Amino acid sequence: MMIEIVAIEDPSLPEPRVEVRSELGQFTAFWSGPAPVVGATRAIEFSFGHTFRWNQDIVEVEARPHAIEPRPDGGAVLWATVLAWHEEGGLDLRLGPSFVMLEAFGYPAPVGATVRLDAPRVTLFDCNI
């Protein structure tokens, strides 16, 4: 996914918090690696560092456009589509133009369903593209 860096809280930290803008919304996340430059556009991958639980922090919802919104505590809420799920807990999602892989345990929503993820922490990795 392509994002634009809007602001950086403290670029001297090992994982500074950044505010970013994407076609799916504006949100804050932690940045893995050297701090980017404000105004830069970067291709990123998501990491959540969290195991989701179906019907708790990942739930099936009515179909709606994909989006990312900030949580008041610094995490993010994401709306995505289920592409595949795996018996051992793996989950593949489409989030706008991107594919996202994560762990989610419990009884999953069907392939093609729209889901809302309540992510307490989001870390972005620069793909260097």
pLDDT level of residue 65 (50, 70, 90 thresholds): very high
Question: Residue 67 in contact with residue 100, Cβ under 8 Å?
Answer: no
103 contacts: CB under 8 Å, gap ≥ 6: 51, 52, 89, 90, 91
Q: What are phi and psi for residue 58, nearest 5 degrees?
A: -140, 120
pLDDT of residue 73: 81
Instruction: Evaluate if residue 129 carries a pLDDT over 70.
Output: no
Question: Residue 30 in contact with residue 119, Cβ under 8 Å?
Answer: no
Q: What is the pTM of this model?
A: 0.92
d(C-alpha 124, C-alpha 43), whole Å: 10
Query: Stretch 30-56: mean pLDDT, rounded?
Result: 94
Instruction: Evaluate if residue 104 carries a pLDDT over 80.
Output: yes
